[in-house]
């Protein structure tokens, strides 16, 4: 008879095999037979533990989110590079999770939404703390800025292949992340434009479109002279 600890170990072995296969092949292309073979169990035992392949994926989602976020609040928010560095330092532990996250974030699932919301919450908290400390300028729309910072931070996770290609590499590496450090900090610290002409023009254009409209449109300086039809 299996002990409780044996049962937990079996569940973990099945889950870990599924995380690796789902990350490499995707959910649809991975069969219970493949997972069973990697885990050294029968497909029937997987059904016994998780009910179905969908039930197993839900367990994998919870496990990866918990492992990468819930126990490591410092990896939340815009600092996704820290998460990648942890994966690079311990590839046998975090590598499959990072690949799994990449797939999760592009799928239409509750776990994907929860994952993104966790990063967004962390980004917002980070911004609020740095604004209060005088390290960051307060943006005109904190929520919108937090959303775009979150997207920026998660970009290297989701687009690992394209990022490494842009650097002429075949995989993420510590050297790649180190090379990225100064350019990224320069971009955030100094910005890209030498003056605010584009910002002023955008504010004026948006002001004309969103301003009040009078009955005599041709006399209203705030009305768009050529509104879209």
Angle at 202 between CA 124 and CA 192, to 5 degrees: 65
Q: Is 0.75 topped by the overall pTM?
A: no
pLDDT in tens, 160-176: 889 999 999 988 777 88
Per-residue confidence at 42, pLDDT binned at 50, 70, 90? very high
Kindly tell me if the per-residue pLDDT of 76 is higher than 80. no
Query: Which of 96-100, 188-192, 206-210, 216-220 has the highest average model confidence (pLDDT)?
Result: 188-192
pLDDT in tens, 80-106: 556 666 666 665 666 788 888 888 888
> How far apart (Å, rounded) are the C-alpha atoms in residues 206 and 101?
37
Higher pLDDT, residue 35 or 104: 35
Q: Where are the domains of the chain?
A: 61-158
> How far apart (Å, rounded) are the C-alpha atoms in residues 57 and 64?
10
């Amino acid at each position: 008879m299996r002990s409780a600890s044996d049962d937990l170990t079996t569940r973990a072995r099945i889950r870990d095999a599924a995380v690796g296969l789902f990350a490499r092949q995707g959910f649809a292309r991975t069969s219970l037979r493949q997972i069973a073979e990697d885990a050294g169990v029968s497909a029937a035992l997987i059904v016994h533990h998780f009910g179905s392949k969908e039930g197993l994926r839900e367990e994998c989602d919870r496990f990866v989110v918990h492992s990468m976020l819930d126990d490591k609040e410092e990896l939340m928010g815009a600092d996704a590079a820290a998460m990648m560095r942890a994966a690079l330092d311990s590839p046998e532990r975090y590598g499959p999770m990072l690949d799994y996250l990449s797939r999760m974030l592009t799928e239409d699932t509750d776990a994907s939404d929860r994952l993104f919301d966790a990063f967004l919450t962390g980004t917002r908290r980070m911004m609020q703390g740095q604004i209060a400390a005088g390290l960051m300028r307060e943006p005109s729309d904190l929520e919108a800025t937090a959303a775009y910072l979150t997207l920026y931070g998660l970009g290297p996770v989701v687009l690992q292949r394209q990022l490494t290609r842009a650097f002429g590499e075949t995989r993420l590496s510590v050297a790649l992340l180190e090379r990225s450090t100064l350019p990224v900090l320069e971009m955030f610290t100094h910005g890209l434009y030498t003056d605010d002409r584009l910002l002023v023009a955008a504010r004026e254009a948006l002001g004309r479109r969103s301003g009040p409209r009078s009955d005599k449109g041709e006399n209203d300086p705030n009305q768009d002279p050529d509104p879209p039809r």
